Amino acid sequence: MQGSSQEQKEDRNEKRTRTARPGSNINMQCTLATMEFRIILAFAALAAAASNHSYDVGQRWGPYRPNLYFGVRPQVPKTLLSGLMWAEGGARMLDTLRDTCEQDDGMEGYGWPLYDTRVGGRQEIHDAQLGIDLTTEFVKTPDGDNWAVRVNGVSRSDDATPQIALVFHFALEEMGVEETGKSLKCQVDGTDGASKGFCTGTDPSLGGFTVELLPGQGNSVVEQVWVMSTLVPEEKIWQAKAAFTNISKSSTTAPSDGKGNIYFFKTVVQTPFSGSTSTITSTSLTKLLGDFYLSFPQRVSSVFPQSAPFQGQDYAKFTQALLSNLMGGLGFFHGDSKMDDSHAPEYEETDIKFWELAAEAMKRAKVVTAPPRSLLSHTPSRPFFPRGFLWDEGFHLIPIAEWDFDLTVSVLRSWLSLMDSDGWIGREQILGPEARSKVPSEFQVQYPHYANPQTLALLFPILLQKMTDPSSYRGSPSKYLSDPDGAGKTMLRELYGLLSKHYAWFRRTQAGNFSTTYPRPEGAVAVGEGYRWRGRTPQHTLTSGLDDYPRADPPHPAELHVDALAWVGATSSALGRLAAYLGEATDAETYEQHHEGVLRNLDLLHWDDGAGAYCDSTVVDGRFERVCHLGYVSVIPLMLGLVGADSPRLPALLELIGDPDRLFSPYGLRSLSAKDPGYGGGDDYWRGAVWANLNVLAALRLADLGRATNGEESIRARAKELGAELRRRLVETVYKSWKQTGFVWEQYSDKTGEGRRSRAFTGWTACVILLMGGVDGGVASGGGASTNGARRSGWGMTGSGMSRSMFSAEQRGLSAPLFIGVMGALAAAFLLRRMLFGRWRRLVDRVRGTLGYGIVLERSLGTRHKVASIARIPQVFRRHTTLEYQILAWHIQVEENGDVPILTSTQGRFRKEFLRHPTGTKCRFNVWPTPTPQSPKQQSSACQVALVSATFFHMILKMVQGSEV
């Protein structure tokens, strides 16, 4: 990739003057002439072994080259690549040529204010250095066969109308390889007095295709269209700018034998101008775009509704821009990668000063080239990080899941399909030479013992929520949601198996040392849940995602990291819920045990009473010690839903979060306390700056805690207050910077609120749209149509995407005596009815209870839900009884899971709760996943509830032997 940022810097202050020409205003763009660029594609079947990647037909084509200002390709490897370049139209053309997005290229903003992956949209590019505003409008047909692009340009100054060179380029990969059946030939036809460009080609993955370039009419065209071609090495075919520069400097013409593998159509126009590429007529192109521009804002408002104080047209455009640019950063990548598969023993990091030994082993290791793979992924930043990042992608997909369920599934499947036979997924996907051109050589090699936070797990409870509650989804039509028991469940089972494998790899490779070599708090070893990020150095823990966040210094092989353990807790929650849905009872029990172990060891290993926070731990002079650097690591268990509203840890965590001298800056939560000695030091990356992704998690979780019904009211009120204020501060910070600079940023200063580091960072920063809607200044509560996307997904209530942590009766504020009394009264009523009126054959439809509570007894999902026979009931209760109950409005149904009836109930507002107990004198109460360990008193009360309830329903079942409910 040939950049021109230095040349642009030198030219930035040069003034340009041009002769003005009159024009007419069309669609907010002055248009003197129209150049149409038509591409017609007829698709054949894909080659059988073309890629590890599959795609939906409607998503085949798109601007999936996000590193370019405008680049189109299909989700197919080794195929047709296209793009647009522009420059000054005079002698300085090659010095000012724009191609790849750059950090410092004289742009005053660029991006997609309106864009949907399924349709297309409009991109605006404000090139201050060249004095021009460009608009690219891309649209594709629903069948995925055709696409079109229209380019408009206007001068940024009333006093100048610069001449601009437009260069469209097309390249066909592997065209020179024998027996590929590929061809591409482009030429210009001027028989009717105006130059017309056209290409014809074939590709087994696309079929035959034709590209037409229709000439413009009018005086905006300074230089007619012409074409040139060159043959470049396959590994450099993506370097359109370099190839164009070389051929422009050379006197040679296009190869006469038609064997060029990259072609350029060039024209020079005077601003203002307009041109388009299209498979569709200009009229239909305009109509498709016009319909989209009308419908898109309405759809965004429906999926991501706004509430005070973020209402009005400006905030609506802000929301649209963030969502559009997140989707506009979607890329399809294909190529080989560099990895170290030596599995050197030093990589176990068990020795003192392990990082030095590991560094030496890396120097000795032979780097290998892994076979080519394909990936569909959103990108954090088009100019700076135009590739897939495992740590980022989970956050990217949270808002996408609200907008386009099937696209979310496609991206998840693509990522999880990258894992190797052990379950490892590289944390950075640097696929092919084009991706490597943006990465320093020392960071290109991936290591199979390096992990990343398991953010993809955040998506699975969201998917499950939408599968089981269609009203929680307002996005694009979904083939999975339209067939939840068929395609939907098949998809979940596939992805569940992949995530389970990756989770097992993480637990195995990042496990902490629980041998007798190092001291641990009493009880922690038996639990066995504790983890340590591999890849540590004294200055960095890149694998944690929190690069330079301070840890123990020096590093020690006995370290245990809070965030690593918390991510295991979040993932075990997600997998457990999914396993239960898929009927994998053994797996669900295993994940339950993992989750309970995580909760116990968070307290045993990582809670520090003195600091009032969770801290990493290490061993110093043979002693177990906690290392407390207060910041994101200290509160990430809360962010991920592992701290309940009745947790004794919550008050101290809220005090830390709300302290302006430590974490609570005027612009959001600092990544590191302002009182920490490391604040602002080192790389100053995760040492104080405000990061949107974890701030969003914190704001949503605080709002959930504020809505809880358990715990002290004053604590819940404080959580709600902090969540609402954090929401306001974070959204205002990102919004104001966007208004001032035209970009959203990687991070924000905790002192000024200014955007820092990489610009055009509409990756996880776009998650702030999840905070735009809310109730009483917070995040919207409840489910259904009245809530915003985040609330409908249920993910916000815990970072793992779990619904409301399945609180117990005690946590809901339902006393066991009251519950027992109600059940006893109802049991007496049923017995009296039976004595008076004889044996019941069916349950009554509705029986109103006393004390203001009601019960609804009805069947829910059809005739497959039947009551077991009397003969089977004892076996059922010897196995287990699952009772799902709700206060205020009971909705009871009897489901059949194999040969085990499961008694359940649902209630619209609250999530599901499960009470389990085995038969016998030993009563055990499991609430899984529970936010905090329960006291013996709580367990005893809950067991009473479960036993009395089971007895009551046992009696009902006997009364309705074999009857349908």
**Set 102, 203, 402, 746: catalytic member:** 746
Q: Residue 1: which pLDDT band, with cuts at 50, 70 and 90? A: very low
Strand 163-172: give its sheet, edge to edge: 61-62, 71-74, 80-88, 163-172, 262-270, 221-230
Does residue 409 lie within any of the structural domains?
yes
Q: Are residues 528 and 466 in the same domain?
A: no
Does residue 760 lie within any of the structural domains?
no
- Which residue blocks in 544-678 are alpha helix, DSSP H? 562-581, 585-601, 632-639, 650-657
Mean pLDDT of the chain: 78
User: Is 159's pLDDT higher than 70?
Assistant: no
Does residue 646 lie within any of the structural domains?
no
User: Is 697's pLDDT higher than 80?
Assistant: yes
Does residue 415 lie within any of the structural domains?
yes
Strand 147-155: give its sheet, edge to edge: 107-116, 120-127, 132-140, 147-155, 273-277, 34-41, 207-214, 196-203, 183-189
Q: Are residues 164 and 59 in the same domain?
A: yes
User: Is 915's pLDDT higher than 70?
Assistant: no
At 777 the pLDDT is: 35
- Which whole number is the average pLDDT over 833-845? 40
User: Is 951's pLDDT higher than 90?
Assistant: no
- Pairwise CA distance, residues 310 & 818, whole Å: 43
- Which whole number is the average pLDDT over 547-574? 98
Could you tell me which of 148, 123, 147 has the C-alpha nearest to residue 135?
123
- In degrees and rounded to multiples of 5, residue 655 shows phi and psi of -65, -40
Cis amide prior to 918 (ω within 30 degrees): no
Does 547 participate in catalysis according to the annotation?
A: yes
Tokens of 109: 């903003």
**Set 223, 420, 547, 587: catalytic member:** 547
At 106 the pLDDT is: 83
Q: Residue 52: which pLDDT band, with cuts at 50, 70 and 90? A: low
The predicted-structure confidence for 422-447, as pLDDT tens digits, reads as follows: 999 999 999 999 999 999 998 999 99
Does residue 237 lie within any of the structural domains?
yes
The DSSP call for residue 330 is: -
Q: Of 628, 658, 680, which residue constitutes the final position of a domain?
A: 628
Q: Which residue has the higher pLDDT, 7 or 188?
A: 188
- CA 518 to chain CA centroid, Å, is 38
At 741 the pLDDT is: 94
Flag the least confident range among 234-238, 812-816, 887-891, 945-949: 887-891
Q: Which residue has the higher pLDDT, 217 or 105?
A: 105
Q: Are residues 433 and 573 in the same domain?
A: no
At 865 the pLDDT is: 28
Whether the full predicted model's pTM is greater than 0.85, yes or no, is: no
At 57 the pLDDT is: 73
Does residue 573 lie within any of the structural domains?
yes
Beta-carbon contacts of 748 under 8 Å, excluding residues fewer than 6 positions away, are 667, 668, 689, 690, 691, 692, 733, 734, 737, 754, 755, 756
Indicate which CATH number applies to the domain containing 80. 2.70.98.110
Flag the least confident range among 264-268, 308-312, 354-358: 264-268
Q: Are residues 501 and 580 in the same domain?
A: no
User: Is 192's pLDDT higher than 80?
Assistant: no
- Which whole number is the average pLDDT over 224-253? 88
User: Is 699's pLDDT higher than 50?
Assistant: yes
Show the beta-strand stretches assigned E in 631-718: 664-665, 668-669
At 204 the pLDDT is: 87
Q: Are residues 108 and 242 in the same domain?
A: yes
At 462 the pLDDT is: 95
Tokens of 691: 């990061």
User: Is 247's pLDDT higher than 80?
Assistant: yes
Q: Are residues 494 and 517 in the same domain?
A: no
At 788 the pLDDT is: 37
Q: Are residues 179 and 284 in the same domain?
A: yes
Q: Residue 821: which pLDDT band, with cuts at 50, 70 and 90? A: low
Does residue 200 lie within any of the structural domains?
yes
Domain that holds residue 428: 336-377+381-509
Name the domain count of the chain: 4
Q: Are residues 183 and 214 in the same domain?
A: yes
At 100 the pLDDT is: 96
Q: Are residues 393 and 274 in the same domain?
A: no
- Pairwise CA distance, residues 806 & 930, whole Å: 7
Does residue 196 lie within any of the structural domains?
yes
Q: Residue 857: which pLDDT band, with cuts at 50, 70 and 90? A: very low
At 358 the pLDDT is: 97
At 284 the pLDDT is: 77
User: Is 801's pLDDT higher than 80?
Assistant: no
At 255 the pLDDT is: 52
User: Is 608's pLDDT higher than 50?
Assistant: yes
Q: Of 593, 628, 663, which residue constitutes the final position of a domain?
A: 628
- Pairwise CA distance, residues 808 & 939, whole Å: 9
193 burial type by CB count under 10 A (0-12 exposed, 13-18 middle, 19+ buried): exposed
User: Is 541's pLDDT higher than 90?
Assistant: yes
- Which whole number is the average pLDDT over 195-224? 75
At 285 the pLDDT is: 79
- Pairwise CA distance, residues 737 & 669, whole Å: 17
User: Is 50's pLDDT higher than 90?
Assistant: no
Whether the Cβ atoms of residue 327 and residue 341 lie closer than 8 Å to each other: no
Q: Are residues 89 and 212 in the same domain?
A: yes
At 34 the pLDDT is: 38
Q: Determine the 3-state secondary structure of 549 from DSSP.
A: coil
What is the percent of the chain where pLDDT is above 90? 60
Q: Are residues 523 and 458 in the same domain?
A: no
252 burial type by CB count under 10 A (0-12 exposed, 13-18 middle, 19+ buried): exposed
Q: Residue 780: which pLDDT band, with cuts at 50, 70 and 90? A: very low
- Which whole number is the average pLDDT over 558-586? 98
Q: Of 628, 661, 683, which residue constitutes the final position of a domain?
A: 628
Does 746 participate in catalysis according to the annotation?
A: yes
User: Is 13's pLDDT higher than 50?
Assistant: no
The predicted-structure confidence for 445-466, as pLDDT tens digits, reads as follows: 999 999 999 999 999 999 999 9
Q: Are residues 461 and 557 in the same domain?
A: no
- Which whole number is the average pLDDT over 107-118? 95
What is the percent of the chain where pLDDT is above 70? 70
- Matching residue, tokens 């990739």: 1
- Which whole number is the average pLDDT over 14-26? 28
User: Is 543's pLDDT higher than 80?
Assistant: yes
At 454 the pLDDT is: 98
The predicted-structure confidence for 655-675, as pLDDT tens digits, reads as follows: 999 999 999 999 999 999 999
**Single-letter residue type at 754:** E
